[in-house]
Amino acid sequence: MQPDHIEVPTLRRYLVPFDPKRVPHLFADVLIIGGGIAGTRAALEIDPSLRTIVVTKDRISHSNSAWAQGGIAGVLDPLDDFANHVADTIAAGKGMCDKDVVEFVIREAPERIRELIQYGADFDKVEGELALTLEGGHSHPRVAHALGDATGKEVMRAIHEAAFGADNVDIWQQTFTIDLLTREGVCCGALVWNPNHGRTFVWAKQTILCTGGAGAMYRETTNPSIATADGHALAFRAGCEVRDMEFMQFHPTVLYIAGSSRHLISEAVRGEGAHLVDCTGYRFMGDYNPEAMELAPRDVVSQAITQQMAKTSHPCVYLDLSHIADEKIRRRFPHIGKVCSEFGLDITKDRVPVRPGAHYMIGGITTDTEGATSLPGLWAAGEVTSTGLHGANRLASNSLLEGVVYGLRCGRNASNAALQQPDNFTAPPVSSRPGIPHHSDEALDLADIRNSLRSLMWRNIGISRNHRELESARQQLDFWANYVCRRDLMEPAGWELQNMMLVGRIMAAAALARQESRGVHLRSDFPETDEAAAKHISVTATDA
């Protein structure tokens, strides 16, 4: 019987002892952790009278949102309607979507897209109207895009300009959030660090977590290196419930060039008519989903590619665009064409080698329809959350939409809550984290452990899982955590590694608990879908 709820030890970290009296204490009305589309949209919704601080661990331009290629989905064509978009989202989610959440997010989409245009985002147009493309799992062309295949970059440029122009918003870049601060079961800010000022206590009336995803936990990924599940770990340590952590979505088509970094090849390439072929030139998707072919949902295509690679004993498959007009390809995919050309590939003629990679963390912090978490004073939006929109498999181009819809809601709700709170808040006494760290004269090779963890996640908690490999992963993560989390780690690389280990253990536990295959979660030892198991698995922390 599949459990509805499981518990995982928190992996309490031991920070280098410090004197809290020597650490600066700053106060904000609203603290936003993360500067992607959700965090930035939240900042723009805060009342101008409230001091807002946005903290990002890297440059604000460096986020999963900015890397989004395909676009943002919404009903913008008179021939389309909300019921179609809702039905497509629920079908992709494989029985795990919250229909009420899907309804209100989809219905807000057109207004949110028009709002992005008002902020200055320059979406592609055809004869003066928004250009809309078709992507896998969608029944109608409804994906608005910008700069051909660089939608996230253009959208983030526009709303970042607006945020930098807001007098009440301070943006702290290259500032790492070590932990959330709580007092009597209420979130009241965070402990942050940057290389210039060291640690700082940021006390806030309301806190919004928008830290993005976890793709960098995997050896093969479309995500930037900063996507290390920090927000998931922060919230979990602070006492938040997380759920659906077994559902990591793998993008079917990631450029596979041995020795190079991986690059996303947008879903829109298949939407415009590209074929998937194996190393023999055989177009194989008809063997797995003859109705939708290359436009099947992402979980279906990723699993088909993996099986075809195994059948052919070849490390990748190929995208073939040679039958599409050259001018159309160059106009529609300038960024992808440029990246491929650096490896001597002409996408108008050459087959493009691709394979799946970790792309989007569907699981996350449990939130309600307003963006509230189970920890009072803490809100969350974007990829760090589990809202019920995506179910067991995210429909293409619904992620930027979710970020902007929930970013707005969290910003509005946190703002209203902060306006009702008194201004005479004083910081409670703070002591350094208790515990006896393990000292050793031997320095840890953090990069080696991180690479080992990423390889372990790819092998054992990847596209296909089974009990033996999941249990092995859990034991290995426990072993690493036993000595890594008891070291005096003093920099972001160590804190990121601790976060990755904690979230890896949560993901392994959740994947072990779901004894069926559903959406992006494929259990080779439980290959069938159990209709009675269409329920969330929530995870909370135990002290250990």
Active site (catalytic) residues: 298
Residue whose structure tokens are 């940057």: 194
- With contact defined as beta carbons under 8 Å apart, do 96 and 364 qualify? no
CA distance 64 to 214: 10
Residue whose structure tokens are 């997010």: 105
Distances (CA, A) of 259 to 104, 262, 456: 44, 9, 19
Q: Which two tokens stand for residue 344?
A: 């001597």
- With contact defined as beta carbons under 8 Å apart, do 113 and 131 qualify? no
Q: Which two tokens stand for residue 148?
A: 């051909």
Q: From edge to edge, which strands make up the β-sheet containing 132-133?
A: 72-73, 143-144, 132-133
Distances (CA, A) of 495 to 95, 439, 473, 486, 502: 36, 17, 20, 12, 11
- Three-state SS for 524? coil
Indicate the Cα dihedral angle 360, 364, 368, 374, nearest 10°: -160
CA distance 491 to 31: 22
Q: Is 127 left (phi over 0), alpha (psi -120 to 50) or beta?
A: left
CA distance 32 to 51: 11
CA distance 168 to 48: 6
CA distance 518 to 370: 27
CA distance 165 to 53: 14
CA distance 540 to 542: 7
CA distance 429 to 99: 44
Which residue type, as a one-letter code, is found at position 195?
A: P
Q: Which two tokens stand for residue 420?
A: 């009702």
- Residue 174: which of 220, 229, 226 has the closest Cα? 226
